[in-house]
Structure 1
């Protein structure tokens, strides 16, 4: 099967490409570095030529109110190009609970991306993932100052990017869901707890103060960013991943 992976050189996309190639598929990794621009459509027809499936893991360059324009433009461009190329399956990566956090501009923009895909002309699959292990350091840094990290007690169910890539590769090679699959890590942890686990593993003596007004995740109410029933639970635990990462 020929599969085009948009965002194919990034954290998730490069792993999806490797998994699909290992399984024997004809894979085209497409990104600005290979001359493909989803905003303008440049290089897109060539990247999609002969493709049965498209996996879209591209992301907005900003997380503010400009992200909606990015997704509106890129999804429209991709769907039109997919029709021209005869693409039969469009796969997109989204976020667990994305429609339950209306106060975040970026989450509203991702909901728009999902809606455009659902209303489009091509059979589709949406893979909603929880927060990646690899992003936890950045989340902690957002509210860190003078040896103190302020984090809300928001329940999360973080997942390794490798496990997200595996789910995307499986979905891409199966029949379209015309619906959504949730994927999440095996453990539910509050964000302040994740902060303490992470700092301790790194030998950082900064203290974590629970502050439900701190940072982006202060806008989240309840456990909406954890997986629901029927989700695909990944095997990798955060503590194990941290240990392996630090040892490497």
Structure 2
């Protein structure tokens, strides 16, 4: 099979390309750096021409109120090009619990992306993943000041990017789901607990304080960012840190 991997040079996309090619498929990475502009439309038709499937791993450059417009325009352009090119499967990567946190602009934007895909003319699959292990340090940096990290006790279920990529590649190479597949890491932590584990591993002197009002994840209520019924990956956070 031939795959057009849009956003194929990023953290997940580059690994999806490698995984698909290793499985004997032809996966071609496309991004702004390769001349494909999903907003302006430049190079989009050429990128998906002849592809059996589109794997869309592009992301909004911001997490704010501008993000819905990014997903609306990029999906419109990719769906139009995919329909013209006769693409038979369209895959996007989304977030576990994305429909449960309307307070966050970015989550509303990702849910919009899902809705556009589901209403579109191309058979589709949505892979929802929990929070990436690779992003934990960035989350800590958002609320760090003078050596103190403030984090809410939001339950999360971190998953390694390599495991996400494998799951996306598996779904892309299969028949369209016509729905959602949830994937997650094997263990659930509260975010402040995960912060303490990360800081202890780094041995950099930071202190983690539990603060229910701190950072983006303070808006998340309950355990909606976890899923005990998801397909669980095998990589544990302690092993990933090591």
Q: Under a length normalisation based on structure 1, what TM-score does the superposition of the two structures give? A: 0.97
Residue 84 (structure 1) aligned with residue 84 (structure 2): yes
SS of 2:193's equivalent? helix
1:227 positional shift = 1.4
CA distance in 1: counterparts of 2:208 and 2:26, whole angstroms: 47
Q: Show the counterpart of 2:211.
A: 211
Q: Show the counterpart of 2:116.
A: 116
1:26 positional shift = 1.1
Q: Show the counterpart of 2:9.
A: 9
SS of 2:87's equivalent? coil
Counterparts of residues 232-243 of structure 1 (less than 5 Å): 232-243=231-242
SS of 2:134's equivalent? helix
SS of 1:60's equivalent? coil
1:101-151 Cα offsets, whole Å, 9 max, x none, are: 011000000010000000000100000001100000000011111111110
SS of 1:93's equivalent? strand
The 10-residue stretch of structure 1 (110-119 or 220-229) with the greater mean CA deviation from structure 2:
220-229
Unaligned runs of 5+ in 1: 244-248
Q: Show the counterpart of 1:246.
A: none
Over 4 Å off, 4+ runs: none
CA distance in 1: counterparts of 2:204 and 2:174, whole angstroms: 44
Q: Show the counterpart of 1:148.
A: 148
CA distance in 2: counterparts of 1:152 and 1:26, whole angstroms: 43
1:93 positional shift = 0.3
Aligned length, in residue pairs: 242
Rate the CA distance shift 1:117–1:228 in 2: closer, same or farther, 3 A: farther
Counterparts of residues 1-150 of structure 1 (less than 5 Å): 1-150=1-150
Unaligned runs of 5+ in 2: none
